[in-house]
Amino acid sequence: MPVFEHLEECMGTVFVFQGRSSLTEFELNAALKIACDKLHEADRIFSLYKPESPLSKLARGETSVALCPAAVDAVWNLCEKWEQLTGGFFSPFTLDRTFDPSGLVKTWAAQQAIDALLSAGVSDFSLNSGGDIWLSGHLSEADDWKVGIAKPVTIASEDAGVLTVVNLQNTEFRAVATSGSAERGSHIWNPSSGTMAESELVQVTVLAKDLVTADVWATAAFAEGPNSLNRISKVDGVEALFVFKDGRIDGTEGFAEVLRGSI
């Protein structure tokens, strides 16, 4: 089947679709266009960098959720669900109680894009949404099941490279998300203390069955710090790998199991 790759710049980062499809070039381009439109639509609605976005207006108190596009209400509800599931460590509310779902919108929109491609008949592909990886269940290339986990340094650095590699073939996991301070410095709040998440951690990588779950838990774990290991260990279908600032690592037993399966 013909190989395709498409890069889309959106939300200040880059989304990479890679895979194989038997669609014609015309059909595939049309499907990718629909998928990428989902990303841009989410950006238009949720970006707090765009002063005229519904979310910016909401933050300034110029509108209400009821007057915003339906997606705002859907994401709001989703955020509340995740806040509860993560013991409050994933929070869409800033200190002054404005709604900032940025931590979830990227992968939420990525999931919409994935669904659009799937319903267009493209099923053998992966999506890298700015460092969070999703794999379809139908990857025909053995290598595509392998996902590298970056060293906790920026990809622009000379030292950039992978820390390890997980092979997700024959596992229940389809998503790998990483949170950390390597790319954009401290940018994750600890909702319980109201300060920037500063812990011994430099990076957390989470495996889950879907992208949003992986993303949210990675963010929550980084915000909570090493104690989140116990919390995540009790969650079904979610595994984590922690990298400490001093180079130590820790992780859930399930993550070690996936590594064993990758050897």
Dist. CA 56–CA 19, nearest whole Å: 36
HSE-CB of 148 using CA atoms within 13 angstroms: 9
Q: Closer to another protein by CB, 60 or 184: give it.
A: 184
Residues within window 28-67 making contact with another protein, judged by CB under 8 A? 28-29, 32
Among 48, 196, 209, 246, contact with another protein (rule: CB under 8 A): 246
Among the residue ranges 43-51, 90-98, 110-118, 177-185, the one whose residues contact another protein (CB under 8 A): 177-185
Among the residue ranges 61-69, 79-87, 109-117, 255-263, the one whose residues contact another protein (CB under 8 A): 255-263
Among 83, 100, 132, 239, contact with another protein (rule: CB under 8 A): 132
Name 14's Cβ contacts closer than 8 Å, sequence gap at least 6. Answer: 7, 8, 128, 130
Backbone angles phi, psi at 19, to 5 degrees: 175, -155
**Total residues interacting with another protein, rule: CB under 8 A:** 76
16 lies in the binding site for another protein (CB under 8 A)? yes
153 lies in the binding site for another protein (CB under 8 A)? yes
Among 63, 167, 169, 171, contact with another protein (rule: CB under 8 A): 167
Among the residue ranges 45-53, 74-82, 112-120, 154-162, the one whose residues contact another protein (CB under 8 A): 154-162
Q: Closer to another protein by CB, 57 or 146: give it.
A: 146
Other Cβ atoms within 10 Å of 40 Cβ, number: 15
Least Å distance between CB 9 and another protein? Answer: 5
Among 111, 190, 199, 203, contact with another protein (rule: CB under 8 A): 203
Among the residue ranges 40-48, 58-66, 142-150, 191-199, the one whose residues contact another protein (CB under 8 A): 142-150
Q: Closer to another protein by CB, 68 or 125: give it.
A: 125
154 lies in the binding site for another protein (CB under 8 A)? yes
Residues within window 77-96 making contact with another protein, judged by CB under 8 A? none
179 lies in the binding site for another protein (CB under 8 A)? yes
Q: Closer to another protein by CB, 176 or 216: give it.
A: 176
Least Å distance between CB 258 and another protein? Answer: 9
Q: Closer to another protein by CB, 54 or 131: give it.
A: 131
What's the chain look like in SS3?
CCEEEEEEEECCEEEEEEEECCCCHHHHHHHHHHHHHHHHHHHHHHCCCCCCCHHHHHHCCCCCHHHCCHHHHHHHHHHHHHHHHCCCCCCCECCCCCECCHHHHHHHHHHHHHHHHHHCCCCEEEEEECCEEEECCCCCCHHHHEEEEECCCCCCCCCCCEEEEEECCCCCCCEEEEEECCCCCCCCEECCCCEECCCCEEEEEEEECCHHHHHHHHHHHHHHCCCHHHHHHCCCCCEEEEEECCCCEEECHHHHHHHHHHC
